[in-house]
Structure 1
Amino acid sequence: MIVQLAGNVKFPLTLDASVWIFDDRKVEFDKAFQDHTAQETDEEEELEKASNRWNREVYQQKLNPPVNKSISKFERKKILDSTYVMNIKPFLETAEVNESATSALLETNHGEEEISLDTLENGYFLFAVDGKPVKEDGPLHFYFGDESNKNTPIKGITGIKIK
Structure 2
Amino acid sequence: MENIIIISGNVKYTITLDPSVWIFDDRRVDLTTYFTTKLENSQSLEEYTKAVSKHWDREIIEGAIYPPTLKTERKFEKEKVLTGTFGIPLKPFLQNSEPASNANTLVIHCINSEYEYPLETANDFILKFSDNGKPLTVDGPIHVYFGDGSNQKTPIKNVTRITIK
TM bracket (short chain)? 0.7 to 0.9
Taking the aligned partners of 2:32 and 2:118, their CA distance within structure 1 comes to 24
Separation in 2, partners of 1:5, 1:36: 30
Tell me, which stretches of 5 or more residues in structure 1 are unaligned? Answer: 42-51, 58-68
* Residue aligned with 1:150, SS: coil
C-alpha distance in 1, partners of 2:146/2:23?
A: 20
CA distance in 2, matches of 1:87, 1:76: 22
What are the equivalent positions in structure 2 for 1:66-77 lying under 5 Å apart? 72-77=74-79
Specify the alignment match of 2:154 in structure 1.
152
Match of 1:64 in 2: none
Matches of 2:126 and 2:107, distance apart in 1: 15
**Distance in 2 between the 1:35 and 1:161 partners?**
31
- The structure whose residues are more often helix, as a share, is 1
For this pair of structures, how many residues does the alignment match?
A: 137
**Per-residue deviation, 1:138:** 0.5
> Which shifted more, 110-119 or 23-32?
110-119
Normalised to the residue count of structure 1, the TM-score between the two structures is 0.77
Deviation at 1:148, TM superposition (A): 1.6
Deviation at 1:115, TM superposition (A): 1.3
Structure 1 segments of 4 or more deviating over 3 A? Answer: none
Larger radius of gyration: 2
1:36-79 residue CA offsets vs partner (Å, 9 max, x unmatched): 329xx9xxxxxxxxxx89xx88xxxxxxxxxxx8x712111100
Give me the whole-angstrom Cα distance separating, in 2, the residues matched to 1:98 and 1:138: 28
Structure 2 residue 38 is matched with structure 1 residue 35: yes
Q: What TM-score do the two structures reach when normalised by structure 2?
A: 0.76
After superposition, give the CA deviation of every residue in 1:76-133 in whole Å (9 maximum; x if it has no partner): 1100100001101111111111111111110111221111112211011111001111
Counterpart CA distance in 1 for 2:148 and 2:110 is 21
One-letter identity of the residue aligned with 1:154? I
Residue 102 of structure 1 aligns with an amino acid whose one-letter code is N
